[in-house]
């Protein structure tokens, strides 16, 4: 997968490609918001009411989101969930987490996601269907695009608070 952000084609006709291209764009944007930060700045939790929200924590959470929704739910792959015991667990950092290691884990999850989606069409039902709702692959990808986009917005502010850097 390229590490260059490219806007999806404006005249896109392939729905699955369009959704995955937007997801890729957002993934790369998320990574760009964390790259170049020191471990200390990337692990900072500057929002008093959200004590687990750090730039690295966002990437760890997005890794867990991808694992659950794309590999386990959509693809039906037997992998361990990364959610943890409580709602905050996927955001928690460990002493061994570095900027490079968290980015590498996130990127590795993209490859697992791509394999899990291989051969599926937008209207296919998810293979995991853990709650019996029979979601479509289209729904799961749209959900991932909105969730990743929302967290990229968090990363915009976290990066600006960390070192003043602004930008898309």
Range of lowest pLDDT (3-7, 27-31, 73-77, 111-115): 3-7
Confidence class for position 13, pLDDT limits 50, 70, 90: confident
Tell me the domains of the chain and their CATH numbers: 15-163 (1.20.120.450)
**Cα separation of 152 and 132, whole Å?**
30
Contact 134, 29 (CB under 8 A): no
Contact 134, 125 (CB under 8 A): yes
Of 168, 138, 133, 160, the residue nearest 20 (C-alpha): 138
Contact 45, 60 (CB under 8 A): no
Which 3 state secondary structure label does DSSP give 136?
A: strand
Contact 37, 55 (CB under 8 A): yes
Mean local confidence (pLDDT), 66-73: 96
Of 142, 128, 43, 52, the residue nearest 90 (C-alpha): 52
Confidence class for position 5, pLDDT limits 50, 70, 90: confident
Scored b (16 or more CB within 10 A) or e, 61-76 reads bbbbbbbbbbbbbbbe
Q: What is the pLDDT of residue 2?
A: 55
CA distances from 2 to 105, 137, 157, 159 (A): 16, 23, 25, 23
Q: What is the pLDDT of residue 134?
A: 85
**Cα separation of 107 and 18, whole Å?**
19
């Amino acid at each position: 997968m390229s590490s260059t952000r490219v806007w999806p084609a404006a005249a896109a006709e392939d729905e699955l490609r369009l959704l995955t291209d937007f997801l890729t764009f957002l993934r790369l944007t998320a990574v760009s918001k964390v790259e170049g930060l020191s471990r200390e700045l990337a692990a900072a939790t500057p929002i008093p009411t959200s004590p687990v929200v750090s730039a690295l924590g966002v990437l760890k959470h997005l890794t867990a989101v991808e694992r659950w929704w794309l590999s386990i739910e959509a693809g039906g792959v037997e992998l361990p969930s990364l959610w943890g015991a409580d709602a905050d667990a996927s955001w928690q950092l460990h002493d061994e987490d570095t900027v490079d290691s968290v980015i590498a884990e996130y990127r590795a999850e993209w490859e697992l996601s791509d394999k899990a989606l291989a051969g599926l069409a937008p209207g296919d039902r998810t293979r995991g269907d853990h709650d019996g709702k029979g979601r479509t692959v289209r729904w799961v990808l749209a959900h991932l695009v909105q969730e990743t986009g929302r967290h990229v917005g968090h990363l915009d502010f976290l990066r600006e608070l960390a070192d003043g850097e602004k930008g898309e």
